[in-house]
């Protein structure tokens, strides 16, 4: 029988395919693309997704090994520096591995634990998982639209 962690992991992993299925089609020249006057480029969004996933691994699920400086969150805007596709892919893979590992480490009773963050207030860990699932999918949708209609 699967643990709650395994079930939640499968949910998160499937939802994250909204992002991962796009990665093979993104080229280095796509990273600067934006949609109209939108402030965020594809490169910024990829970096932002990875940073927030790492923040969740650390601050929500309690990873003691994750080290993250959330530059996109700190700057609050696209600075134009996210132009190295290989580095972005490596960072996204690191975030995926870290979040996967810490989700699977959660004991069944931990999913009811209450956490509080300034970004989204008081949530159980299971509710917080919904937040990271929707965050990644939301930005993956933006990336899809930018890939289709955006310009550099």
Environment class of residue 144 by beta-carbon count within 10 Å: exposed (0-12), middle (13-18) or buried (19+)? middle
Interatomic CA distance for residues 35 and 113, integer angstroms:
39
Fold held by 4-149: 1.20.120
The DSSP 8-state label assigned to residue 34 in this structure reads B
**Whole-number pLDDT of residue 74:** 93
pLDDT at 143 over 90: yes
Residue-wise pLDDT tens digits, 90-141: 999 999 999 999 999 999 999 999 999 888 899 999 999 999 999 999 999 9
User: 6-10, 62-66, 94-98, 116-120: lowest mean pLDDT where?
Assistant: 116-120
The per-residue pLDDT of the chain, averaged, comes to 96
Q: How many residues does the chain have?
A: 152
Residue-wise pLDDT tens digits, 70-96: 999 999 999 999 999 999 999 999 999
Give me the percent of the chain exceeding a pLDDT of 90: 94
**Whole-number pLDDT of residue 64:** 96
Q: Where are the domains of the chain?
A: 4-149
pLDDT at 152 over 90: no
Residue of 97, 93, 104, 102 whose CA lies nearest to 19: 93
């Amino acid at each position: 029988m699967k643990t709650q962690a395994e079930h939640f992991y499968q949910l998160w992993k499937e939802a994250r395919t909204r992002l991962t299925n796009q990665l093979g089609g993104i080229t280095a020249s796509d990273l600067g693309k934006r949609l109209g006057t939108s402030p965020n480029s594809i490169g910024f969004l990829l970096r932002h997704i990875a940073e927030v996933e790492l923040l969740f691994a650390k601050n929500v699920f309690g990873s003691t090994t994750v080290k993250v400086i959330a530059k996109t969150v700190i700057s609050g805007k696209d600075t134009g520096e996210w132009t190295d596709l290989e580095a972005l892919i490596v960072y996204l893979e690191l975030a995926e591995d870290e979040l996967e590992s810490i989700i699977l480490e959660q004991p069944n009773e931990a999913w009811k634990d209450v956490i509080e963050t300034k970004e989204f207030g008081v949530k159980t860990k299971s509710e917080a998982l919904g937040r990271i699932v929707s965050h990644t999918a939301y930005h993956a949708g933006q990336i899809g639209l930018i890939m289709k209609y955006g310009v550099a």
